[in-house]
Amino acid sequence: MAMTMSDSGASRLRRQLESGGFEARLYVKQLSQQSDGDRDLQEHRQRIQALAEETAQNLKRNVYQNYRQFIETAREISYLESEMYQLSHLLTEQKSSLESIPLTLLPAAAAAGAAAASGGEEGVGGTGGRDHLRGQAGFFPSPGGASRDGSGPGEEGKQRTLTTLLEKVEGCRHLLETPGQYLVYNGDLVEYDADHMAQLQRVHGFLMNDCLLVATWLPQRRGMYRYNALYSLDGLAVVNVKDNPPMKDMFKLLMFPESRIFQAENAKIKREWLEVLEETKRALSEKRRREQEEAAAPRGPPQVTSKATNPFEDDDEEEPAVPEVEEEKVDLSMEWIQELPEDLDVCIAQRDFEGAVDLLDKLNHYLEDKPSPPPVKELRAKVDERVRQLTEVLVFELSPDRSLRGGPKATRRAVSQLIRLGQCTKACELFLRNRAAAVHTAIRQLRIEGATLLYIHKLCHVFFTSLLETAKEFEIDFAGTDSGCYSAFVVWARSAMGMFVDAFSKQVFDSKESLSTAAECVKVAKEHCQQLGDIGLDLTFIIHALLVKDIQGALHSYKEIIIEATKHRNSEEMWRKMNLMTPEALGKLKEEMKSCGVSNFEQYTGDDCWVNLSYTVVAFTKQTMGFLEEALKLYFPELHMVLLESLVEIILVAVQHVDYSLRCEQDPEKKAFIRQNASFLYETVLPVVEKRFEEGVGKPAKQLQDLRNASRLIRVNPESTTSVV
């Protein structure tokens, strides 16, 4: 009883919700007024939710209950559509056949057509119709084979056949706009990947008298295709692919810049495809040749009105006829000229660049000093299009996107053919751009070692070797060309040197290496740069100009370090003799001073291990001479004043300290010791600095001479308070 009441309540609720005048807001308002509390509302909510779930389940059950019937119905509809297309095709063929039969044979042909049509109708019910259509996927009669007149019913029948077949191909209606176009051959093929020989898709080929249409199958619509590609026979090359089981019965179509491989059903159909493609291309070429000959044929001379037909013309007033100048004809009927565009397409597709350029040279030599009638202009237009395609391929070969392996010699093939095509400037630009990318890649791939000098050795080897190889290859490729190319190479070398200096400076100067390390690195770079002089390329001035700022900064930085160190030692100076404690230490100091150029250091050594000089003066001497030696390794004329001013600033710090100490010291014994250090500084160190600077630079420095002469004030009048500066 409770179940019955529940079912009746659910039915009543369903009818209420399904009523046309149901308003949710009003229903909820009434429900809230009638309910006793939250519990009634919750129960009512659960009933509505259960009703919603039940409704959803019923809907799903109704949808899926007849799912199989839906599929079967759709399949039958698809089959019926395919049969209707086949029936339409058969009727159209029979109609065109009847129209092409002469009137005398019309009764017999009509009977045969009726029998064939009835057979076609029987085939619709089973598989006979489809078999008949598959049999028609072969040769079609040529334009003149069906009737005596090319504009007769045979042409119309072929046009109808083409129209009927192309109605089954989606997206190719524009093909019907070409007058005189008809179907030659068609059939099923399987396309394979040209690189991996993997099966791609099933296609159907439609060969017209001037083009080839490729359409893909529509699996959901039997007998229907979708337009895939259209290729003109002028730019199409057919290549037989040798059987290599299980890959057999294949042929390749070459269309710049792509190629496609197709597999026929068997060897016979493959042979038919190859033969009909070649025959159709040959027929098209012959048709074009005849059109060119007709266009190039001279017009007949104008007819002269005779006296019999013109009795009113006076003999005395008759003017002599001016003969027309007959336009010279150019023989373009030779086979190699007719096949030249196709041969160029094959050469480009097979990457036979030399063969393509040889053909172009042969044509240019043949047409040299010949007039340019319309057939020649048309031929040149076709050839110019191939030249453009060939140029694009060669440009791509030299692009930095291609592999940069193989060095400069790998570009010789493309560069030489571009030069032969008259594209010398473009070849030069692309060659240098390719080599710039190769140099940049080689530098970027270098591993940054912990030792800076080791990295610089590798960097110089990689860069200057690449530059040398590029220069030699450039001289080979562009020998005998415009001298402007050599100017472009010099500009490129300047740019490449800038790339090298960026990497060099980042590793040597930006990392704040010592002056000695920087000097060794610059020396290595100069030595490699001088090797380019063997081929007549001197880039030393370029590397100097690019490094001058970095070297100036390094000299200035190291000068400031020496000055600060000298000032620090001066502040702690006690003017005492040096005690080296051991003979070994004294011997080592003598060797260091001798390497600095101080040959008379023995006279400043005392008994045992004493040295009659201050530690400050000895340290200053070693540091100054070390700075000078390293700076001379970096020297070039642009740095002359920078180096000289740095030396003067460093020496003045020591000179001013000695002068000040000599004037301020009151102890006679210390004063004598200071005077001895001053004598060593002015009479030994400064002449050595001046001499070594002159040897390294090649000319004396007046500033150093003036600085040494100013020291006479101290030697002549040590009690004077006059400053050296």
340-to-211, 234, 287, 332, 336 alpha-carbon distances in Å: 18, 10, 15, 11, 6
Indicate whether 403 belongs to any domain.
Answer: yes
Alpha-carbon span 106 to 157, nearest angstrom:
16
Q: 563 and 709: one domain?
A: yes
Question: What pLDDT, on the 0 to 100 scale, is given for residue 721?
Answer: 42
d(CA 666, CA 661): 10
Are 348 and 393 within 8 A, CB to CB? yes
Average pLDDT of the chain is 77
Q: Are residues 285 and 345 in the same domain?
A: no
pLDDT on residue 403: 58
What is the predicted pLDDT for the residue at 67?
A: 67
| pLDDT the model gives residue 99 | 67
Count Cβ atoms below 10 Å from residue 394 Cβ, excluding itself: 25
Nearest C-alpha neighbor of 109 from the set 96, 120, 121, 119 = 96
Arithmetic mean of pLDDT, 181-207: 88
Assigned domain for 545 exists: no
- Considering only 35-39, 265-269, 401-405, 620-624, which range has the smallest mean pLDDT? 401-405
pLDDT given for residue 543 in this prediction: 86
Helices in 128-185 by DSSP H: which ranges?
128-135, 153-166
| pLDDT of residue 46 exceeding 80 | yes
CB count in 10 Å sphere of residue 341: 19
- When pLDDT is cut at 50, 70 and 90, the band that residue 317 belongs to is very low
Q: Cα separations (Å) of 696 from 686, 691, 705?
A: 15, 9, 16
- Residue 149 in domain: no
Question: Do 598 and 684 belong together in one domain?
Answer: yes
| CA–CA distance, 706 with 191 (Å, rounded to integer) | 92
Q: Please say if the pLDDT value at position 601 is more than 60.
A: yes
Q: Of 86, 119, 136, which residue sits at a domain end? A: 86
- Maximum mean pLDDT: which of 313-317, 387-391, 704-708: 387-391
Per-residue pLDDT, averaged over 342-349, amounts to: 87
Asked if 276 and 345 sit in the same domain, the reply is no
Domain co-membership, 574 together with 709: yes
Do 284 and 405 reside in the same domain of the chain? no
User: For 299-320, what is the mean pLDDT?
Assistant: 46
Partners of residue 211 on adjacent β-strands: 232
Residues 66 and 172 both lie in one domain: no
| Lowest model confidence (mean pLDDT) among 32-36, 193-197, 247-251, 503-507 | 32-36
Between residues 207 and 451, the one the model is more confident about = 207
Residue 68 has pLDDT above 70, yes or no: no
**Does residue 428 sit within a domain?**
yes
Lowest-pLDDT choice from 76-90, 315-329, 386-400, 533-547: 315-329
Highest mean pLDDT, choosing among 56-70, 315-329, 448-462:
448-462
Best CA proximity match to 487, nearest among 543, 399, 428, 540:
428
What is the mean pLDDT of the segment spanning 344-356? 87
Q: What is the mean pLDDT of residues 336-360?
A: 87
What span, in angstroms and rounded, lies between the C-alpha atoms of 475 and 488?
A: 12
Considering 434, 451, 484, which residue would you say is the last residue of a domain?
484
Q: Are 268 and 343 within one domain?
A: no
* Assigned domain for 504 exists: no
Who wins on pLDDT, 110 or 250? 250
Total domains in the fold of the chain? 4
Q: Which helix (H) or strand (E) holds 639?
A: none
Q: Give the model's pLDDT for residue 238.
A: 84
Does pTM top 0.75 for this prediction?
Answer: no
The SS3 assignment for 718 reads: coil
Under 8 Å between Cβ of 254 and 350: yes
Which tokens is 410 given?
A: 């790998």
Q: What is the pLDDT of residue 153?
A: 43
More confident residue, 541 or 403: 541
Residue 123 has pLDDT above 60, yes or no: no
Average pLDDT over every residue of 411-438:
86
Task: Give the mean pLDDT of 436-442.
Answer: 87
Q: Span 256-281, mean pLDDT? A: 88
Would you call the peptide bond into 668 cis, given omega within 30 degrees of 0 as the criterion?
no
Q: Region 372-399: what's the mean pLDDT?
A: 85
349 and 276 both lie in a single domain: no
266 and 347 in a single domain? The answer is no
Range of the domain at 185: 168-294
User: Token pair of 634, please?
Assistant: 């970096």
Whether 498 is covered by a domain: the verdict is: no
Please determine, for residue 7, whether its predicted confidence score (pLDDT) is greater than 70. no
Calculate mean pLDDT across residues 233-250: 82
Q: Is residue 443 part of a domain?
A: yes
| Tens-place pLDDT, residues 361-372 | 888 888 888 787
CB 684, CB 600: distance < 8 Å: yes
pLDDT at position 642 over 80: yes
Strand partners, 238: 253
Are 562 and 707 in the same domain? yes
Mean pLDDT of 601-627: 84
Task: Check whether 498 has a pLDDT greater than 80.
Answer: yes
Task: Give the span between the Cα atoms of 239 and 305, in whole angstroms.
Answer: 59
The pLDDT of residue 175: 63
Percent of the residues in the chain that have a pLDDT greater than 90, as a whole number: 4
Residue 263's pLDDT band (boundaries 50, 70, 90)? very high
pLDDT tens per residue, range 469-489: 888 888 888 877 766 788 888
Place 143 in a pLDDT band, splitting at 50, 70 and 90.
very low
Q: Are 240 and 183 in contact (CB under 8 A)?
A: no
What's the confidence (pLDDT) of residue 191? 92
Six token digits for residue 478: 């562009």
Residue 203 included in any domain: yes
The last residue of a domain, from among 484, 517, 543: 484
pLDDT score at 600: 80
Q: Does residue 125 carry a pLDDT above 60?
A: no
pLDDT band at 262 (very low <50, low <70, confident <90, very high): very high
Is 552 a residue whose pLDDT tops 50? Answer: yes
Q: Indicate the range of 50-59, 116-125, 259-268, 692-701 predicted with least confidence.
A: 116-125
| Bridge partner list, 261 | 192, 252
**Interval 27-42 mean pLDDT:** 77
- Same-domain status, 621 and 711: yes
Task: Provide the token pair at 507.
Answer: 């590793």
Per-residue pLDDT, 425: 86
What does the alpha-carbon distance between residue 204 and residue 628 come to, in Å, rounded to a whole number? Answer: 85
Confidence of residue 313 (pLDDT cuts 50, 70, 90): very low
Q: The domain spanning residue 172 has which CATH number?
A: 2.30.29.30
Mean pLDDT check: name the lowest of 123-132, 182-191, 196-205, 216-225: 123-132
Q: Which amino acid is at 634?
A: L
Average pLDDT of span 196-218:
88
